[in-house]
Amino acid sequence: MGTLRLRRPFSLSAWVWLLLGAAYFMIPLLATFLFSIKDKHTGSCCSLSAYGVIVHDHQFWTTIKLSFILSLETIAASLLLFVPTVYWVHLKLPRLRAVVGFLALIPFVVPPIILVVGLLDFYRGSPRWFYGQPYGFLVAAYVILAFPYVYFSLDSGFRAIDVHTLTEASLNLGASWPRTLLSVILPNIRVAALSGAFLTLAIVMGEFTIATLSAFHTFPTYIQYINETQAYPAAAVSLMSFGITWAAMLSILLVGRRPGARQVQIAGTR
C-alpha cells in the first residue's frame, strides 16, 4: 500500500521565528566559543590553549567528578524517595495530590541562600560523616532543591497511565506490591523519571550557592574560581561544562532506554 505524505506549505514567518529563537540561544554560545579560542598572550585567533589549561588542571577533574557523583546520588535518592510516594498518593491518597503539589513548590519560593542557612543550622548536630561530607549534607540539600522538578515530572508520568487498573491487574495475577512497582509501574513512568533525572543533573551540576556557603568545592565553585582568575579559560570551562552536562544527560537517556521504550510510553499514555 502506498503511503500518503502531506507536505506542509513553506512558511516564511515560521522559519523567521525559529531562527530568531535559535539565535537567542546560539549567539551567546558562539561568542563564548570565539572568546575561548583567543590566544592568552596576543588576544588573537585561534588557539586551544585555554582548553589546555582546563584539561591539565587536576582541580577541574576532581570537582567535575564530585559534582557528577553528587548528581547521581541526588537522582537515586530523589527517585527512591519520590517514586513510591507519588505512586501511593495517586493510588491511595489522591486528595493529597494538591497538598504535595503545594509542598513541592516551596523550594521554588525559598531562595537557596535561606535554604542553606536553615539546613546548616538544622543539621549542625548531625554526625560528621554526614555534615562534613558533600555526599551527605549537599545531597540532602540537593534532594530538597530537586523536589519540585522530580515531583512534577513523576506526577505527569503517573497521570498519563491508569495507575489503579494496572496495579489491580498486577495484584490480581499474584504479584506483590514491590513487584508491581518494579515490573509494571516503573517501566511505564520511565520517561517521566528520566525527565526528573535530567533536571536534577542539570541543577546539581550548576548549583553554586549552597555549595559555596557550606564550604564544599564542587564544579560550579571551580568555574567561579576560574572566572575570577583567568579570562579565556573561564569561557572554555563554561562551554565545557555545557557540553559535559549535555553528554551526561544523553548518557542517562541511553542507559534508561530499552527497545520498544518509546512505543511503550506512548501506549501507556491514555
Partner 1 sequence: MPHVELRELRRSFGEFEALKGINVSLEAGEFLSLLGPSGCGKTTALRLVAGFDRPTSGQVVVDGKDVSSVPPNRRDMGMVFQAYSLFPNMTAEKNVEYGLRIRKQGRGERRKKVEELLELVGLGHAGKRYPHQLSGGMQQRVALARALAIEPRVLLLDEPLSALDAKVRVQLREEIRRIQTQLGITTIYVTHDQEEALSISDHVAVMYGGRIEQVGTPAEMYGAPATPFVAEFIGTMNRLEATVADSGAVEHGGVRLRVDAAQGRSRGERVLVLVRPEVVEVEAAANGAPDGALAGEVVSHTFLGSVTRIKVAAEAGEVTADVSTARAETLPVGARVTARFPAESARLLSLAQAPAPPAADPDGP
Q: Which residues bind partner 1 (CB under 8 A)?
A: 161-162, 165-166, 168-176, 179, 183-184, 187-188, 260, 263-268, 270
> Which CB sits closer to partner 1, 32 or 156?
156
Q: Among 111, 119, 113, 89, which residue's Cα sits nearest to residue 101?
A: 89
Torsion of CA 33, 39, 42, 44, to 10 degrees: -40
> Which CB sits closer to partner 1, 80 or 267?
267
Question: Residue 267 Cβ, how far from partner 1 at the closest point, in Å?
Answer: 3
Residue 45: is the preceding peptide bond cis (ω within 30°)?
Answer: no
> Which CB sits closer to partner 1, 177 or 208?
177
Question: Residue 255 Cβ, how far from partner 1 at the closest point, in Å?
Answer: 17
Cell digits of residue 15: 522559519
Question: Residue 16 Cβ, how far from partner 1 at the closest point, in Å?
Answer: 37
> Which CB sits closer to partner 1, 244 or 264?
264
> Which CB sits closer to partner 1, 114 or 267?
267
Residues linked to residue 240 through DSSP beta bridges, in sequence order: none
Question: Residue 257 Cβ, how far from partner 1 at the closest point, in Å?
Answer: 13
> Which CB sits closer to partner 1, 125 or 174?
174
Question: Residue 84 Cβ, how far from partner 1 at the closest point, in Å?
Answer: 18
* CB-based contact 257:187 (threshold 8 Å): no
Cα 96 from chain centroid? Answer: 26
Question: Residue 173 Cβ, how far from partner 1 at the closest point, in Å?
Answer: 4
> Which CB sits closer to partner 1, 161 or 192?
161
Cell digits of residue 241: 561544562
Question: Could you tell me where the DSSP H helices lie in the chain?
Answer: 12-36, 49-55, 58-91, 97-109, 112-122, 128-131, 139-159, 163-172, 177-179, 186-188, 190-206, 209-213, 219-229, 231-256, 261-268
Cell digits of residue 56: 591539565
Q: Among 53, 12, 85, which residue's Cα sits nearest to residue 237?
A: 53
Question: Residue 249 Cβ, how far from partner 1 at the closest point, in Å?
Answer: 23
